[in-house]
Amino acid sequence: MDVTLDDRLAALQQISQRKLVEILDVIPGKKDLIIEQKLMKILDSFVGVTVLKKYGVDKIFKFAQGLKPTNIQRIYLVTCDLIACQNAFDQIRSEMSQTPGLSHHMLIAPFIPITVNNLLEENGLSGLVSLRPLAWEFIRTDGNVLSLEMPLFTDLYYHKDSSLLPALAKNLWTLRMVMGAPNFTLALGKHSQQLLKMIASMDDSLGAPSPKDEFGALIVMDRSQDFVSTLLTPVTYLGLLSEVVDINIGNATLGTSQTKLDPTKDQVYAEVRDKHFSDAFPTLRTKAKALKSEQEAMQSMKLAEMKHYVQNTLQKTTKTKQQLEFHISACEAAVNALASKFEDLHSIETSILECNRRAECLDYILRNIDDNPARSLRLFSLLSIASDGVTNNEILPLQKAHLHAHGYQHIPLFHKLESSGLLSIKTENMLKRLPNWTSKWMANAKRLRLFPNPSKPIDLKGPTCPSYVFSGSYIPVIAQLLNIVNSQITDPKAFEELVNTVGCSFSGIQGPIHPQTVVVCVVGGITFNEISACRLIEKSAGIQLVLTSDCILTGTKIIESLQNA
């Protein structure tokens, strides 16, 4: 019996579960498990309560000060964040002072930094608390989308800290052990190249994939190679959903209702997730009408027909109704969030990409800073990237308006945006002096063909170009990389342009992708719009895709993470 891609990806959950239960197995007796809040959903994604009970976990607590665990053996599961570790140490010291004879263990994800060992000694807990690393494998969130669920953006681009990069490298190494070695590898960006070196080192020390197993290609890209895709407003159903609904490891929460975004169990979601938003609501409306007709037909059923309907169809119909209600409500939330503003917003974004109407764009950004700060900062960052920077005369009015409207605690934010590469300051506005001036970003975008052919209209309902995810204004870089790698033979010039790009490297067999399975990894987070764009290419090219990253992010999440950094 052949092992399918689905079987191989399902093995990752089993590996993660095995790592945890092996630790639990060596800690004797009944134990309490105290989990940092942000890890609750992650843990739930690869191990259930039944398995935990089987390995001696008596009670499970969400970590909070003043907890009252009951068992002598107590296990704390926390991230490697120093504040989280110190909070756990404080709780452990408090418990030890009140109840002698307790045994404490800390599982630190994904690794134990040297500073945590120093912290352990400073708290006088060396020899009293055992520290163990826990590194789970990629978590499957939506079909063949895999996420580490450990955002690297702020660490890599603001703090310039790559200490979590080995955790992503280890996950990719495990994925290769499960799937095989790639016949062709392409990396774009310094972090991507570091990642491949780490994986090569792991091959030497831990073992390499079996030569019997292989897949077509591995494409790795730094997030910094395409900030634009994170800043533009998404227009696919799933992209817009992520802007208005909290999505956590595939669980979407809208008000008091919650649903699992699983295309194998939610056929409504499977059908609309990658559609352009203008086509998503009509699809949902058609399904709702069909469901209503089915319920009306039920009224005239005879007894035997009713019995058959109840036994075979009613449960499925009830579930479909619940799914439809959620997705229609999500559409309404997206419409309410943008309403009539979308056309203006899309027009401004297109002008920024084309380096046109600069004064109007700046005026729009300034007018919206009070009501939509994140959106305005995304647009301003987009303007800076597309035109190789903004001047002090452009940044100061916006900074002043933002601080007046939202508080002076945000003074460091613009510095953080600049440190992360989202903003750059230039001494003068070259556009005023050189009307035909082209930014470096524009030149690079044209070289990689990120702007669709204007002579070919974009069909948003039956798209053939991945730019449909931005209503035809821009093709995400990761989708274009996939396109170029898949078309090496038919379009060798595009491939040559790509490999001559600064920061690009490749190895392996050039030519048609074989086997037709491609693993894509974005270092620093991937967006739902990029996922939808890549799925379109997957469908049209007849390949199988596995999309991986440290997390799934949005432009607003980037702004918020920098605010909190």
- Tell me the helix, strand and coil percentages in the chain, rounded to 5: 55, 15, 30
- CA-closest candidate to residue 548, choices 110, 174, 266: 174
pLDDT for 364-387, tens place per residue?
999 999 989 999 999 999 999 999
* CATH numeric code, 5-136: 3.40.50.2060
CB atoms inside a 10 Å sphere around CB 98 = 9
- Lowest model confidence (mean pLDDT) among 29-33, 328-332, 476-480: 328-332
Question: pLDDT for 243-259, tens place per residue?
Answer: 888 898 988 888 888 88
More confident residue, 460 or 190: 190
274-295 mean pLDDT: 82
Report, as an integer, the average pLDDT of 170-182: 95
Find the DSSP H helices in 454-516. 477-486, 492-499
DSSP string for residues in 44-90: HHH--HHHHHHTTEEEEEE--TT----SSEEEEEEES-HHHHHHHHH
DSSP 244-290: HSEEETTEEEETTEEEE--TTT-HHHHHHTTSBHHHHHHHHHHHHHH
Give the pLDDT confidence score for residue 426 in this predicted structure: 84
pLDDT tens for 9-27 read 999 999 999 999 999 999 9
Q: What is the pLDDT of residues 382-409, one digit of tens each?
A: 999 999 999 999 999 999 999 999 999 9
pLDDT the model gives residue 177 = 95
For residues 137-163, give the mean pLDDT. Answer: 95
Say if CB 209 and CB 180 are below 8 A apart.
yes
Q: In terms of DSSP H, where are the helices of 69-152?
A: 82-98, 114-122
CA–CA dist 391, 384 (Å, integer): 9
Residue 456 has pLDDT above 90, yes or no: no
Q: Look at residue 432 and tell me whether its pLDDT is greater than 60.
A: no
Degrees, nearest 5: CA angle 406-407-411? 110
Would the pLDDT of 178 be above 80? yes
From the number of C-beta atoms within 10 Å of its C-beta (0-12, 13-18, 19+), residue 542 rates as exposed
pLDDT at 313: 63
Would you say residue 449 has pLDDT above 90?
A: yes
Domain ranges of the chain: 5-136, 138-226+476-564, 240-338, 341-420
Q: Decide: 388 and 439 in contact? Cβ < 8 Å.
A: yes
Question: Which DSSP symbol is given to 163?
Answer: T
Q: Which CATH class is domain 240-338?
A: alpha beta
Domain 341-420: CATH class, spelled out = mainly alpha
Q: What is the pLDDT of residues 305-340, one digit of tens each?
A: 566 655 666 566 677 888 888 888 888 888 888 766
Banded model confidence at residue 288, pLDDT cuts 50, 70, 90: confident
Angstrom distance (rounded) from CA 419 to CA 157: 7
Q: Return the CATH superfamily for domain 138-226+476-564.
A: Sec1/Munc18 (SM) protein, domain 2 (3.40.50.1910)
What is the end-to-end Cα distance of the chain in Å, rounded? 50
Domain 5-136 identical in fold to domain 341-420: no
Which pLDDT does position 457 carry in this prediction? 83
User: Mean pLDDT over residues 509-533, rounded?
Assistant: 94
- Predicted confidence at residue 478, as pLDDT, reads 97
Q: Model confidence over 61-74: pLDDT tens digits? A: 999 877 788 899 99
